[in-house]
Chain A
Amino acid sequence: MKEENARAYWAANLRLILTYLAVWFAVSYGCGILLVDELNQIQFFGFKLGFWFAQQGAIYVFLVLIVMYAHSMNKLDRKFDVHED
């Protein structure tokens, strides 16, 4: 495998990780902790929105993030021809 290819693959992976971790940070530390009082002014069904993020929403988003990352990486592995099998 060429060194340049490996470098480009790694850079693409880092970009994905940073994007997904930004969302990870935003839903948990952002919506669930730092902005919780502001978001609690908004009603979301029977929940205050900030409280919902802290006890439900963040967990759902975490799950979606992992599935999306795994999926994106499978595509990236093929694109750079570093996939297994």
Chain B
Amino acid sequence: MDIQTLTYLFVGGSFALYIGIAIWSRAGSTKDFYVAGGGVSPVANGAATAADWMSAASFISMAGIIAYAGYDASVYLMGWTGGYVLLAMLLAPYLRKFGKFTVPDFIGDRYYSNVARTVAVICVIFVSFTYVAGQMRGTGIVFARFLEVNVNTGVVIGMAIVFFYAVLGGMKGITYTQVAQYCVLIFAFLVPAVFLSIMMTGHVLPQTGFGATVLDAAGNDSGVYLLNKLDQVVTDLGFTAYTDGSKSTIDVFFIAAALMCGTAGLPHVIVRFFTVPRVKDARISAGWALFFIALLYTSAPAVGAFARLNLIDTVHQTQYEELPEWFYNWENSGLIGWMDKNGDGAVQMSAGAPFEGKPTFAGSRDEAQGSYGEHVLTNAPTDNDAEVYIDRDIIVLANPEIGNLPAWVIALVAAGGVAAALSTAAGLLLVISSAISHDLLKKTLKPDITEKQELLAARGAAVVAICIAGYFGINPPGFVAQVVAFAFGLAAASFFPVILMGIFYKRMNKEGAIAGMLTGLAFTFSYIVYFKFISPELNTAEHWLLGVSPEGIGTVGMLLNFIVAFAVSRVTAAPPEHIQHIVEDIRVPRGAGVAVAH
């Protein structure tokens, strides 16, 4: 069977599975819809959290980013896993004991204020929408590359699938499809990683192959450690050593902190811990989630290093005509471009961009063929020795081809990419719809609606959210790549501090919480907007506050939130008696079951 047929089979098969699960797990009540009835086992919740958390970006882009950035990419690895320690110890068990449906629910009740609830709802919607637009786009791109449909058709197919199981099944449907999606995506990521590790080092586990010695072409041990060889090869080409960083220590520190606290504060992650039956399940469930995530996150840096070395070995100083097939295929997709600056017919790699921007071609392949058969570029060349542009996103997608793996592995990777994008999109859409139907409608605007009406409103809100997300997927705002900093920075600067203080500082009152949240938000928002949109030309280390980049500024916003909230709470009245009792109550596990009833 050819790759095309296999891909249709794998992706189609996985879709049938998701829809089957959705029909089996329809939501009958608001509790089913918002928190899957509260009866999900900690292991299943861990797998669902992992799928929810690992987006198209984790699956497709992360290994590529690591391959190019080396040590500098460590902030993503530590930042996106370290947050689970904070969740397990500081947030998840207490929020589970509190036993409501959403994050604004907690903030509104704990701070006895609908203003606080509304601020939280706005943050939830903003954070989740910026995130979900990227997911829809990711689905479209995977469809376009592997199934050769138009990106927009891909987005619409993705919308239809998510529509089906999110609207029908709510959290219950999403949870069990996410478990299935986790299995698909982790299998799809690990199979090529293991193959690659065996090929390059003879180790089955990529995690140990990463620190092993390289095999030579004949399969004999060369005695040279992979990472030492990689450091050597990249410094010879003029790059910074792979295992050394080029970012300042303070910036790395702040980015890691923003990602960790942002992870712990992201509503679609927190809400997953409302679905387990007991407080003790919430604690260990964070452990399961991290275990499932770590399977991918500890393999990704190995894949990155293997791919970088492999790529340089294969491409650098090779005559264009003698390159492997995949090089031409990805050149056709516009993700690789070669400009023979020195006219020797061989591809040279070197530090720096080979030309301005992404590859743009002079015409179709047949019309615009260079003297060695390459697709001629119209980009303006730069004055360095680099000749080849290789998009970071192809590292994972092209790995099976680069490693000469069987066709079914390529089909599997396609199904994995779609699973990663859909699972994250569904989780986010659910958070948006519950923020609207539960926090805004039921808790603020129309408290007298029945449960049936609320469930209908939740489904309606999910439909609207999917359509808006689809619109952004088809007409992506130019800033999708920039907004990731937004989502984490804002979550770190708003939710994380107020939830934390709500649990650990009994004296925190509504004045303090609202002032802190608004300060953190306003500061982080304006800093990012200033450097990303208003004056992008000033976005360099010497203009940053304390040398902290917009990616790491959420940490500063978070500290400001803590300071302002604390100061304001000291000069205003203590929270009422019954609120202090709520805080005492959420600190002890017993009685979690009863608290669920509204």
Give me the interface of A with B, judged by CB distance under 8 Å. 1, 6, 9-10, 13, 17, 20-21, 24, 28-29, 32-34, 36, 40, 44-48, 51-52, 54-56, 58-60, 62-63, 65-67, 69-70, 73-74, 77, 82-85
Contact = CB atoms under 8 A, between A and B. Distances in A.
B74 A63 contact: no
B212 A46 contact: yes
Nearest to A3: B584
Contacts of B195: none
Contacts of A56: 207, 210, 298, 301
Contact of A59 (B81, B89, B208): B81
A55 B301 contact: yes
A32 B291 contact: no
B88 interface: yes
B587 interface: yes
A33 B260 CA distance: 14
Contacts of A44: 211
Contacts of A59: 77-78, 81, 290, 294, 297-298
B89 A17 contact: yes
Interface string B278-314: 1110011011001100100110010000000000000
B85 A65 contact: yes
Given A17-B89, A17-B90, A46 B227 contact: yes
Interface residues of B, number: 53
Nearest to B72: A54
Contacts of B593: 84
Nearest to A5: B588
B227 A47 contact: yes
Contact of A21 (B89, B210, B298, B590): B89
B381 interface: no
B592 interface: yes
B253 interface: yes
A62 B589 contact: no
A18 to B, nearest CB: 10
Given A10-B587, A56-B301, A59-B294, A20 B280 contact: no
B278 A63 contact: no
Interface string B570-598: 00000000000000100111111100000
Given A33-B74, A65-B85, 12 more contacts: A24-B82, A24-B85, A32-B74, A46-B227, A54-B77, A56-B207, A56-B298, A59-B77, A62-B294, A73-B283, A77-B589, A84-B589
Interface centre among B244, B290, B584, B589, by most chain A C-beta atoms within 10 angstroms, is B589
B287 A1 contact: no
Contacts of B74: 32-33, 51, 54-55
B88 A58 contact: no
Contacts of B82: 24, 28, 58, 62
B285 to A, nearest CB: 9
B528 to A, nearest CB: 22
A63 B294 contact: yes
B587 A6 contact: yes
Nearest to B285: A70
Interface string B58-97: 0000000010000100100110011011001110010000
A56 B81 CA distance: 11
Contacts of A29: 253, 256-257
Nearest to A65: B85
B159 interface: no
A22 to B, nearest CB: 12
Nearest to B214: A46
A55 B77 contact: yes
B252 interface: yes
A18 B9 CA distance: 51
Contacts of A65: 85
B228 interface: yes
Contacts of A60: 294, 298
20 contacts: A1-B590, A10-B587, A13-B587, A17-B89, A29-B256, A33-B253, A45-B211, A46-B210, A46-B213, A46-B227, A46-B228, A47-B227, A62-B294, A66-B88, A66-B286, A70-B283, A73-B283, A77-B590, A83-B590, A84-B589
B78 A70 contact: no
Given A46-B211, A69-B283, A82-B588, A62 B301 contact: no
B211 A28 contact: no
B243 A48 contact: yes
A19 B437 CA distance: 41
Nearest to A81: B590
Contacts of A77: 280, 589-590
A70 B88 contact: yes
A81 B486 CA distance: 43
Given A44-B211, A62-B290, A82 B84 contact: no
Interface in B210-231: 210-213, 225-228
Contacts of B284: 66-67, 70
B378 interface: no
B526 interface: no
Nearest to A64: B287
A17 to B, nearest CB: 5
A8 B83 CA distance: 27
Given A59-B77, A60-B294, A70-B280, A47 B211 contact: yes
Contacts of B298: 56, 59-60
A67 to B, nearest CB: 5
Contacts of A33: 74, 78, 249, 252-253, 256
A56 to B, nearest CB: 6
A45 B301 contact: no
A40 B226 CA distance: 16
Nearest to A55: B301
Given A17-B89, A56-B207, A56-B210, A6 B294 contact: no
A10 B71 CA distance: 39
Contacts of B207: 56
A48 B252 CA distance: 18
B71 A51 contact: yes
A66 B588 contact: no
Nearest to A84: B278
